[in-house]
Chain A
Amino acid sequence: MASQNKRIAKELAECTSSPPPGITVTLPNDSDLHKWHVTLDGPENSVYAGGRFGLVVSLPADYPFRAPTVTFATRIYHPNVTNDQLGNICLGPLKAENWKPSTRLAGVLEAVRALLAEPQPDDPLEARIADEFRAERQEFDKNARSYVQRYAKGPVKFDVAAVGAAAAGEGGEDKKGAGGAATAAGASRSGGNTASGP
């Protein structure tokens, strides 16, 4: 699969030269095409407006035959994203049984952004937040906005160590020391999830 990098390079070129609205893609390490850093602007008219969210995209070695893993590096209050340092997302096309090799990352990223504009409480990762979203919308909005204020303002941090350092710097952060290790473990675990067959 020598041509595999060709596909990734092409997708990367497309995403950087004409990125989907509200999405910026960078490579943290120019020699590694399999790790992408994505900055997502919270969609206008949503509770996430004004926030900037970091996403880490990991492409498996046999991409595009297996689905990439996409996780939030920035904490977010959302029914479909785990409310922890891992930031796992529940997104239909990323599931092993739904993934098609012809699916483009640009489309996946747009789907993530669409998830911010329109959460799917019927398919939640955080059942409590989903209940709140359905039953007490005002309370949900308030919480989501306060998360944006706390975590999604200022420069986006992707790097695991940087997240930990920044948290320590701000002082008001909870679980600061453990942050780095926990996120690292999360990235590898979510990789495992996508790998497991149905």
Chain B
Amino acid sequence: MDTDDDFMSNVSSEDDMLPDDSDNDLSGDEDFGFDDEPDAYIDSQKEIGHKKKAAYDITFKVYQPSDVLKQQTELIDEVNMILDISKEEAAILLRYFRWNKERLIEDYMDRPSQVLDAAGLAQTSAGPPKMQVIPGFVCDICCEDEPGLESFALKCGHRYCVDCYRHYLSQKISREGEAARIQCPSEGCNIIIDARSLDLLVTAELTERYHELLHRTYVEDKETLKWCPAPDCQNAVECAVKKKDLDKVVPTVSCICGHRFCFGCILNDHQPAPCELVKKWLKKCADDSETANWISANTKECPKCNSTIEKNGGCNHMTCRKCKHEFCWMCMGLWSEHGTSWYNCNRFEEKSGTDARDAQAKSRVSLERYLHYYNRYANHEQSARLDKDIYHKTEKKMVQLQKESGMSWIEVQYLNSASQALQTCRQTLMWTYAFAFYLARNNLTEIFEDNQKDLEMAVEALSEMFEKPIAELADSDLKVDIINKTSYCNKRRVILLDDTAQKLSEGLWTFNTELTSLGANGGSSARR
């Protein structure tokens, strides 16, 4: 993907896009071609001065609420024209087919009546929905029969009074949060209420809620769309990465609100670690089992009273503090049975003894290994948090620096860039440790560890410069150093991510755990 041709075409297409971008600010990304990246990403790439498509880059688009609405309208219009059915019906059909237009058209052409039936559409073609007063009508829900009672029926002809219809719809919409599959109130009738009929019946407030729910189901129905999980963000992100490919790629996307997240699992950016490792790692860290591991690695139980004992030095002759039982730390046998061979526990050589020792040693090694990675992971997590605090101070720093050194706003922007780089790189570093924990050792791991080391050293160096007092920051040499280090950090991060993503997509990494995601089917199990 990252040939020179690609590189060139990418540049030129981006240039083409630029005036367009500035025209309609952030919303204009519907014309993006397949090899373009949305604005936010380009921005961060520009900063690094790197425009080649890296192995970890994936194609995605960010849609604002109006774009999402527009997409739906376009699909509905298209189906409406091709199949010659009303827009409301087209919408219901599309929802039934989870917005898969091709399949809908194909199926509909093959067997229209079955498709209509299954989607909950009537076969009859009646006029537009309207409320009617029918003499002698009795509402089957409330049993009201007064003359002049307004009634309504969907195309299935099940007629109820308007009051009952309204009550039914508001119950469904406000209490049950249902919209796309509200059926006719008649028992056993699966005809779906269309938006037009609904608009006719309920209050504006409820209509708004109804459309909001429909809007939500559109994104939820499509596998390629996901809501940005940032608080109060209303945008949706489109990405073609499938769930089954998550062992090959870490699909990190970035919303125009600035939030970077993984399209696969919706968690915050966790490159380079694949989703499944992240899930395992987080579970492992949250698990108390590591405490148990420590206890099993470092302690034994008194053979008599079962108190947990940590041996803190000295010889193998143990006397339990609690019950005064005397035993051998090696074989756990009675000390009195050892006779004179105090320094050499014979039973220690027995198979059971060596097995027990091996198990303990293994457990200890595995714990140490875990702690090695965990400490580094946690350290970067904490540092990233601290860096975030610093970020808030950065702005003050920048203002202060302007005053003291007479630099302009633009001239102090390098501090902002440095702060951004620190946070992003720490986020990456943090996950490299989780990644490394699951990595089986071979010659590839060395390259990975070198990359990790380079990035870590660069980040720590930058971090140190960044925290210097204002007086020193004003020094123009330091400014150049910071700018250089910032760009170096970003480059090292790109190199590391590129390398890991490349090898991940080629399946070159060997992990000491399964990478296939368990329970691939989501929560959409059929309800009766």
Interface residue ranges, A against B (CB under 8 Å): 1, 3-4, 6-7, 10, 62, 64-66, 92-93, 95-98, 100-104, 107, 123, 197-198
Contact = CB atoms under 8 A, between A and B. Distances in A.
A98 B171 contact: no
A98 B175 CA distance: 14
A3 B162 CA distance: 13
A3 to B, nearest CB: 4
Contact of B528 (A4, A92, A101, A104): A92
Contacts of B141: 7, 64, 101-102
A196 to B, nearest CB: 9
B179 to A, nearest CB: 12
Given A3-B139, A101-B164, A101-B168, 9 more contacts: A6-B144, A7-B143, A62-B167, A65-B167, A96-B176, A102-B158, A103-B187, A197-B178, A198-B176
Interface in B171-212: 171, 175-178, 183, 185-189
B527 interface: yes
B157 to A, nearest CB: 13
Nearest to A11: B143
Most buried by A among B139, B143, B163, B188: B143
Given A62-B171, A65-B171, A101-B168, A6 B143 contact: yes
A197 B176 contact: yes
Nearest to A7: B143
**Chain A interface, >50% SS class:** loop
Interface residues of B, number: 25
A100 B160 CA distance: 12
B528 A98 contact: yes
14 contacts: A3-B144, A6-B143, A7-B142, A7-B143, A62-B171, A65-B167, A97-B178, A100-B183, A100-B186, A100-B187, A101-B185, A102-B186, A107-B187, A197-B177
A27 to B, nearest CB: 18
Contacts of A123: 528
A1 B167 contact: yes
Contacts of A103: 187
B301 interface: no
A56 B399 CA distance: 73
A10 B143 contact: yes
A32 to B, nearest CB: 19
Contacts of A96: 176
Contacts of A10: 143
B30 interface: no
A96 B178 CA distance: 11
Most buried by A among B142, B171, B177, B183: B142
B142 A1 contact: yes
Contacts of A65: 167-168, 171
B167 A102 contact: no
Given A7-B143, A96-B176, A97-B176, A198 B527 contact: yes
A64 B165 CA distance: 12
B140 interface: yes
A56 to B, nearest CB: 23
Interface in B26-85: none
B527 A97 contact: yes
B185 A102 contact: yes
A4 B142 CA distance: 6
A1 B140 CA distance: 14
B138 to A, nearest CB: 10
